[in-house]
Amino acid sequence: MFWTVVDSPIDPLLLVGDESGLRELAMAPHSPPDDAVRDDDALAGAAAQLEEYFAGERTRFDLPLTPVGTPFQLRVWAELREIPYGGTTTYGRIATDLGQPTASRAVGLANGRNPIAVIVPCHRVIGSDGSLTGFGGGLDRKRWLLEHERRVLAEVAGEPVAAGLW
Protein backbone atom coordinates (compact mmCIF):
# COMPACT_ATOMS: atom_id res chain seq x y z
CA MET A 1 0.00 0.00 0.00
CA PHE A 2 0.98 3.61 -0.61
CA TRP A 3 0.19 6.89 1.12
CA THR A 4 0.61 10.60 0.61
CA VAL A 5 -0.67 13.79 2.17
CA VAL A 6 -2.50 16.48 0.19
CA ASP A 7 -2.91 20.03 1.47
CA SER A 8 -6.47 21.31 1.36
CA PRO A 9 -8.59 24.16 2.73
CA ILE A 10 -10.03 21.73 5.30
CA ASP A 11 -6.59 20.63 6.60
CA PRO A 12 -4.11 18.07 5.25
CA LEU A 13 -5.74 14.94 3.85
CA LEU A 14 -4.15 11.50 4.05
CA LEU A 15 -4.61 9.37 0.94
CA VAL A 16 -3.99 5.62 1.08
CA GLY A 17 -4.13 3.36 -1.94
CA ASP A 18 -2.80 0.27 -3.60
CA GLU A 19 -2.27 -0.90 -7.16
CA SER A 20 -6.04 -1.22 -7.63
CA GLY A 21 -7.09 2.23 -6.46
CA LEU A 22 -7.73 4.62 -3.63
CA ARG A 23 -8.69 2.89 -0.37
CA GLU A 24 -8.88 5.75 2.09
CA LEU A 25 -9.04 9.52 2.43
CA ALA A 26 -8.65 10.58 6.06
CA MET A 27 -8.92 14.04 7.56
CA ALA A 28 -6.56 15.25 10.28
CA PRO A 29 -5.65 13.99 12.72
CA HIS A 30 -4.40 10.94 10.87
CA SER A 31 -1.43 8.65 10.45
CA PRO A 32 -0.57 6.29 7.61
CA PRO A 33 -1.03 2.55 8.02
CA ASP A 34 2.05 0.75 9.33
CA ASP A 35 2.20 -1.47 6.24
CA ALA A 36 2.11 1.44 3.76
CA VAL A 37 5.00 3.37 2.22
CA ARG A 38 4.95 6.99 1.20
CA ASP A 39 4.66 7.26 -2.58
CA ASP A 40 3.46 10.64 -3.81
CA ASP A 41 3.70 9.57 -7.46
CA ALA A 42 1.47 6.51 -6.99
CA LEU A 43 -1.34 8.75 -5.70
CA ALA A 44 -0.63 11.78 -7.90
CA GLY A 45 -3.86 11.32 -9.90
CA ALA A 46 -6.02 11.37 -6.78
CA ALA A 47 -4.07 14.32 -5.39
CA ALA A 48 -4.52 16.26 -8.65
CA GLN A 49 -8.28 15.62 -8.75
CA LEU A 50 -8.63 16.77 -5.14
CA GLU A 51 -6.70 19.96 -5.92
CA GLU A 52 -9.04 20.58 -8.88
CA TYR A 53 -12.07 19.97 -6.64
CA PHE A 54 -10.88 22.46 -4.03
CA ALA A 55 -10.06 24.99 -6.77
CA GLY A 56 -13.65 24.72 -8.03
CA GLU A 57 -12.56 23.11 -11.31
CA ARG A 58 -13.88 19.56 -10.72
CA THR A 59 -17.39 18.50 -9.82
CA ARG A 60 -17.03 14.72 -10.23
CA PHE A 61 -14.16 12.42 -9.37
CA ASP A 62 -12.97 9.83 -11.86
CA LEU A 63 -10.74 7.52 -9.86
CA PRO A 64 -10.51 3.80 -9.25
CA LEU A 65 -11.74 3.30 -5.69
CA THR A 66 -11.19 0.20 -3.56
CA PRO A 67 -12.89 0.84 -0.23
CA VAL A 68 -13.07 -2.10 2.15
CA GLY A 69 -16.48 -2.73 3.70
CA THR A 70 -19.46 -5.03 3.98
CA PRO A 71 -21.69 -5.58 0.94
CA PHE A 72 -24.28 -3.20 2.46
CA GLN A 73 -21.67 -0.52 3.13
CA LEU A 74 -20.38 -0.81 -0.44
CA ARG A 75 -23.95 -0.32 -1.73
CA VAL A 76 -24.42 2.77 0.44
CA TRP A 77 -21.07 4.22 -0.64
CA ALA A 78 -21.95 3.63 -4.29
CA GLU A 79 -25.24 5.47 -3.70
CA LEU A 80 -23.35 8.39 -2.12
CA ARG A 81 -21.40 8.80 -5.35
CA GLU A 82 -24.70 9.45 -7.15
CA ILE A 83 -25.56 12.53 -5.07
CA PRO A 84 -25.07 15.47 -7.43
CA TYR A 85 -22.36 18.02 -6.77
CA GLY A 86 -23.84 20.80 -4.67
CA GLY A 87 -26.86 18.69 -3.78
CA THR A 88 -27.93 16.95 -0.61
CA THR A 89 -30.01 13.97 0.39
CA THR A 90 -31.07 12.21 3.58
CA TYR A 91 -30.36 8.83 5.16
CA GLY A 92 -34.02 7.93 4.62
CA ARG A 93 -33.87 8.79 0.91
CA ILE A 94 -30.77 6.62 0.46
CA ALA A 95 -32.45 3.74 2.32
CA THR A 96 -35.49 4.06 0.05
CA ASP A 97 -33.30 4.22 -3.06
CA LEU A 98 -31.61 1.01 -1.91
CA GLY A 99 -35.03 -0.67 -1.63
CA GLN A 100 -34.81 -0.80 2.19
CA PRO A 101 -36.94 2.14 3.40
CA THR A 102 -36.65 1.16 7.07
CA ALA A 103 -32.84 1.01 6.99
CA SER A 104 -32.08 4.71 7.48
CA ARG A 105 -30.20 4.02 10.72
CA ALA A 106 -28.06 1.37 9.00
CA VAL A 107 -27.44 3.83 6.15
CA GLY A 108 -26.28 6.38 8.73
CA LEU A 109 -23.85 3.88 10.22
CA ALA A 110 -22.48 2.97 6.79
CA ASN A 111 -22.22 6.66 5.89
CA GLY A 112 -20.22 7.24 9.07
CA ARG A 113 -17.80 4.48 8.14
CA ASN A 114 -17.15 5.81 4.65
CA PRO A 115 -13.35 5.47 4.27
CA ILE A 116 -13.06 7.86 1.30
CA ALA A 117 -14.62 11.12 2.47
CA VAL A 118 -14.98 14.04 0.02
CA ILE A 119 -14.52 11.78 -3.03
CA VAL A 120 -17.36 9.55 -1.83
CA PRO A 121 -19.41 12.56 -0.75
CA CYS A 122 -20.85 11.56 2.62
CA HIS A 123 -20.85 15.28 3.47
CA ARG A 124 -23.88 15.66 1.16
CA VAL A 125 -26.10 13.66 3.52
CA ILE A 126 -28.12 15.83 5.90
CA GLY A 127 -30.89 15.31 8.43
CA SER A 128 -34.48 14.83 7.30
CA ASP A 129 -35.25 18.29 8.72
CA GLY A 130 -32.53 19.90 6.58
CA SER A 131 -30.05 20.24 9.44
CA LEU A 132 -26.40 19.28 9.36
CA THR A 133 -25.86 15.93 11.01
CA GLY A 134 -22.78 14.01 12.06
CA PHE A 135 -19.69 13.96 9.91
CA GLY A 136 -16.46 12.14 10.73
CA GLY A 137 -14.46 15.21 9.79
CA GLY A 138 -16.58 17.47 12.01
CA LEU A 139 -19.50 19.73 11.21
CA ASP A 140 -17.26 22.71 10.39
CA ARG A 141 -15.62 20.74 7.58
CA LYS A 142 -18.99 19.44 6.39
CA ARG A 143 -20.36 22.99 6.32
CA TRP A 144 -17.28 24.19 4.42
CA LEU A 145 -17.58 21.42 1.79
CA LEU A 146 -21.30 22.05 1.21
CA GLU A 147 -20.86 25.81 0.99
CA HIS A 148 -17.84 25.39 -1.32
CA GLU A 149 -19.91 23.32 -3.76
CA ARG A 150 -22.85 25.74 -3.66
CA ARG A 151 -20.47 28.69 -4.14
CA VAL A 152 -18.85 27.04 -7.19
CA LEU A 153 -22.25 26.29 -8.74
CA ALA A 154 -23.44 29.85 -8.12
CA GLU A 155 -20.30 31.30 -9.72
CA VAL A 156 -20.66 29.05 -12.78
CA ALA A 157 -24.31 30.13 -13.14
CA GLY A 158 -23.39 33.79 -12.69
CA GLU A 159 -25.61 34.04 -9.64
CA PRO A 160 -24.89 35.86 -6.39
CA VAL A 161 -23.03 33.67 -3.94
CA ALA A 162 -25.13 32.91 -0.88
CA ALA A 163 -23.16 32.65 2.34
CA GLY A 164 -23.90 30.85 5.56
CA LEU A 165 -26.46 28.33 4.36
CA TRP A 166 -25.96 26.24 7.49
Q: Cβ distance 124 to 135 under 8 Å?
A: no
Choice among 120, 122, 126, 146 that is catalytic: 122
Contacts of 128 (CB under 8 A, 6+ apart): 90, 91, 92
| Burial class for 59, CB neighbours closer than 10 Å (0-12, 13-18, 19+) | middle
Q: What is the dihedral of CA 134, 96, 103, 63, to 10 degrees?
A: -60
- Tell me how far apart the alpha carbons of residues 75 and 73 are, in angstroms, rounded to a whole number: 5
Q: Cβ distance 64 to 109 under 8 Å?
A: no
Q: Cβ distance 3 to 43 under 8 Å?
A: yes
> How crowded is residue 45: how many other Cβ atoms within 10 Å of its Cβ?
15
Active site residue 122: yes
Q: Which residues are catalytic?
A: 122
